[in-house]
Chain A
Amino acid sequence: MKRVKVIQIKGFFRVMALLAPLLLNAYLPVQASEEHAAPVAAVVAAHAEAAVDPALEPAHAEPAGHEDEKAGDVIMHHILNSHSFSFEPFGTIHLPTLPPVFGIDISITKHVVMLWIVSAILLVLFSFVGAAYRKITPKTAPSGVANTMEALVEFIRLDVAKSNIGHGYEAHLPYLLTVFMFILLCNILGLIPYGATATGNINVTLTLAVFTFFITQAASLKAHGLKGYLTHLTAGTHWSLWIIMIPIEVIGLFTKPFALTVRLFANMTAGHIVILSLIFISFILKSYVVAAAVSVPFSIFIYLLEIFVAFLQAFIFTMLSALFIGLATAHEGGEAEAAHH
């Protein structure tokens, strides 16, 4: 027991030693704010100093030192994408802006960096897990990280993919696992201080939903053939009604991925807005009592809820993707049934 504790403390110090230079980012000029009197002013000043591209956020094209910023602006700044990573007491990292391509701004923003970080973590983690699995024999059980990941992977494989898609689910398993882990890690990293929620950006969620859309359509084409796919659009109605039915069915194809998009985006954004609003209540009312009685306990509660929501939303996105694929590949009459009990 005691030894475990010692090892944990050692590990903690090791991690801190690794993180300290990152957190203090010594290579950046520290922009200290002059106001130490009011905590609001300090927070707000740091925000005002985060020089943001005026085209992206017109509300932030204010000169530094302008300390009377509204809570709503700070919340929006926290949630929206921006060209800089602000590490509040330490300073700001300005991300490079690239020249526009075909009139589209493709600069590297906060959320793009988060997507890269998530991808890198997943690559490293799962290479490690894969290597661990290549090493073990049928007689030994996986341990540590590999074991944890096995639980998640098996959960997605059996309870999500197999029970929703049924026959031939193995072909879609890589996509479902990737999307689950990716969204989960994006959501969790968004809850870490100084992190940004990439899934709180509607472009990211829309892209993920577009992947699901294309995979669903491809699976449907594969299962029914082109003729079957087109008769699917007429929904088995009389030919005189096709003029009404075909547009409705085509719209129906797009509504499901759209619902996926909005669900993930809104859930991730709403949680962050709620937490920040609760914190800002005490700043607006300028009272310690409110901070101790309302802001801190409630925001901690919502924060814990957010951790749950991070898992839940990743699960639901994956579950519904699997369900749509299952519905698209299910033949008339023969439903994809829950396989395992």
Chain B
Amino acid sequence: MQKQDDERFPDYFGRSVRALSDYLGIGLQIAVSFALFVLLGYWADEQLGSSPFLLLLGVLLGMAGMSLVLWKVLRAANRKGRHPR
């Protein structure tokens, strides 16, 4: 058992996956949440007949949500950068 060589790849791989972990689901999360707000606005418009204002509101909320998600990730990344593991 050469300990050095045996543990090198899984360690590297594990570290890279852990580093990636914050960004693994982020694309899907942003896309789905944006779609959710927009579709909610669309649906509310259909119910109330107030097209297109609620749809636009949904778009705005979705955009705000996307920025929030990105901001949250950035904040976490900054925190990690200050205390490197």
Chain A residues with CB under 8 Å of chain B are 155, 159-160, 163-164, 235-237, 241, 244-245, 247-248, 251-252, 255-256, 258-259, 319-320, 323, 327, 335, 337-338, 340-341
Q: Give the residues in chain B near A155, CB-CB below 8 Å.
A: 10
Please pick, from A160, A248, A259, A341, the residue contacting B24 in the complex, using a CB distance under 8 A. A259
Closest to A323 in B: B21
Note all chain A residues with C-beta closer than 8 A to B17. Answer: 164, 319-320, 323
CA distance A236 to B79 in the complex (A): 14
Our pick among B15, B64, B68, B69 for the contact of A338 (Cβ within 8 Å) is B15
4 more CB-based (< 8 A) A-B contacts, given A251-B29, A259-B25, A338-B11: A164-B14, A235-B72, A245-B65, A338-B15
**A241, A245, A320: residue with the most chain B Cβ atoms closer than 10 Å:** A245
**Chain B hits for A327, CB < 8 A:** 21
**A180, B2: Cα distance in complex, Å:** 25
Chain A residues near B37 (CB-CB < 8 A): 244, 247
Residues of B within 8 Å of A340, CB to CB, are 7
- Interchain CA distance A332-B85 in the complex, whole Å: 14
Query: Which one of B11, B28, B33, B85 contacts A258 once the chains associate, using CB atoms below 8 Å?
Result: B28
Interface of B is mostly: helix
Q: Which residues of A contact B80 (CB under 8 A)?
A: 335
Interface of A is mostly: helix
- Do the beta carbons of A163 and B24 come within 8 Å of each other? no
B36 interfacial contact with A, CB 8 Å: yes
B32 proximal to A (CB < 8 A): yes
Interface string of B27-53 (1 = CB under 8 A from A): 011001100110000000000000000
Give Cα A186–Cα B10 distance, bound, in whole angstroms: 23
A-B contact pairs, 30 of them (CB 8 A): A159-B7, A163-B14, A164-B17, A235-B68, A236-B72, A237-B72, A241-B64, A241-B68, A244-B37, A244-B64, A244-B68, A247-B36, A247-B65, A248-B33, A251-B36, A252-B29, A255-B25, A255-B29, A256-B25, A258-B28, A319-B13, A319-B17, A320-B24, A323-B17, A323-B18, A327-B21, A335-B80, A338-B14, A338-B15, A341-B7
Contact (Cβ within 8 A) B33 A251: yes
| Contact B14–A337 (Cβ < 8 Å) | no
Which B residues form the contact surface with A (CB < 8 A)?
7, 10-11, 13-15, 17-18, 21, 24-25, 28-29, 32-33, 36-37, 61, 64-65, 68-69, 72, 80, 85
Taking CB atoms, residues of chain A closer than 8 Å to B7 are 159, 340-341
A235-B72, A320-B24 are contacts. A244–B65 as well, Cβ < 8 Å? yes
| A237 to B76 Cα, complex, angstroms | 13
> With a CB–CB cut-off of 8 A, which chain B residues contact A248?
29, 33, 65, 68-69
Given A159-B11, A235-B72, A338-B11, are A251 and B18 also a contact pair (CB < 8 Å)? no
Shortest CB distance A323–B (Å): 5
CA distance A235 to B24 in the complex (A): 17
Establish whether residues B11 and A237, one from each chain, have CB atoms under 8 Å apart when the complex forms. no
- Residues of B near A337 (CB, < 8 A) are 85
